Amino acid sequence: MPVLEVKGKKLTLDEDGFLQDWEEWDEEVAEALAKDTRFSPQPIELTEDHWVLIRYLREYFLKYGVAPPVRMLVKHMKKTLGKEKGTLEYIYQLFPQGPAKDACRIAGLPKPTGCV
C-alpha cells in the first residue's frame, strides 16, 4: 500500500491514492494529496474554488455517508460561485480526473463505488 507522509505522520493510501482512513484528513493532507503526482498526471494547486467543492463534498459525506451525485456538485457550484462556474466543465478544469477521482480523493473521502 502506498503511504503519504504529512506532518511526520504516515497515512496509508489505497492503490488509487484514496486515504484508507478518511478521518485522518485535514486541509494539510488535502494539499499533500493534491500535489502527489503518483495518482494524478499533474499536481493541483488548490484555490478557493477548489476548497468550495472540497468543503461541500466533506459536509455532504458527513451528513449522508456517501459522496453527492455529480448533479448536486454542479448545482452547489452554480449557487456558490455563479452560473459561469456552475458547470461540469468547470469542475473538470479544477479536478482534471473528475469529481469522483480527483475531488473525492483530495477531500479525503472513501473511493466512490463504481466511479473509479
- Catalytically active residues are 115
∠62-108-10 over CA atoms, to 5°?
A: 130
**Which of 12, 46, 40 has its CA nearest to residue 28?**
46
CA distance 82 to 9: 38
* Backbone φ, ψ for residue 3 (5° rounding): -130, 145
CA distance 12 to 77: 31
